A = this chain, B = another copy of it.
């Protein structure tokens, strides 16, 4: 663990499990504290949906949201798909316009942490024009103004977080509203269990170790369809926190095309396979064979096998991904919090008048 002078080399430092203390200085806005507080966020966020219920029944839910907000809709969709008796289908749209087939039987949930995401505002406007009833989720901005103006329900979130770090606030209030609407059973017990698990669990060492494996590699995050939103969250957290590339794909589709890609290997990859013990038995087999195949092609693989209810699996795995991308950022000597490029891009886009 040291060079001849007795001092540790930079390389050895990066690879060892004990994370070098001097890396934390890159975390200028204490993202660590925010990421570690996920259990508290969940507890508070779940309360925010208390007593909120759409005025009339609905047959489908359309979630409008981009990036970290859109993911909340993707997670809800998969959670409800796993409920055998849930009568409501959820779709997420990440666009300017809402799709065909939505009408007054649709509940449109427009989510934007800032309340100013132009795509989401645009979808909200086209959605209500089609007769959807609407629920807004935001910490303020234009969304708050519009909710007041149009007398639509709004779930008001606390300010001051980076949207992607507000994931619990963007998801749990909606879950509660869905329960209140009677379309799905109560998740209260599961939410409490999840909060306890996240509070007790220490994933720091695991995240540090994983970030070492992904360092200077391109992480490939793979999961079954039902867990794809979690894989996508890992990918985007590497993109936004570490400001580094990462890609994701879903099984079984991966076996029909991307799997072949690592024959003429261009680039250096590290695969993370998320498995949940609730996959179709053939997908379980696919995960095993895919792992072997990737290793045979020179791509090292870590399998993260998660246990518990679907909700618990989703958020404990998201938490591990958040933490891993955080440590990866520090290894790249990058502050995880700011996303200056996105802010400048928004400025360059100029005002959007819908």
Contacts and interface: CB of A to CB of B under 8 A. Distances in A.
A267 interface: yes
Interface stretch (A136-144, A146-154, A191-199, A251-259): A251-259
Nearest to A93: B225
Interface in A50-107: 60, 66-68, 70, 80-81, 86-89, 94-97, 99-101
A88 B101 CA distance: 7
A334 B95 CA distance: 38
A332 interface: yes
A19 interface: no
Nearest to A233: B257
A342 interface: yes
The 3 lowest CB-CB distance pairs between A and B, nearest first, are A67-B256, A243-B263, A89-B101
Contact of A240 (B260, B285, B350): B260
Contacts of A286: 349
A12 interface: no
A289 B142 CA distance: 24
A95 B345 contact: no
A209 interface: no
A134 interface: no
Nearest to A245: B261
A130 interface: no
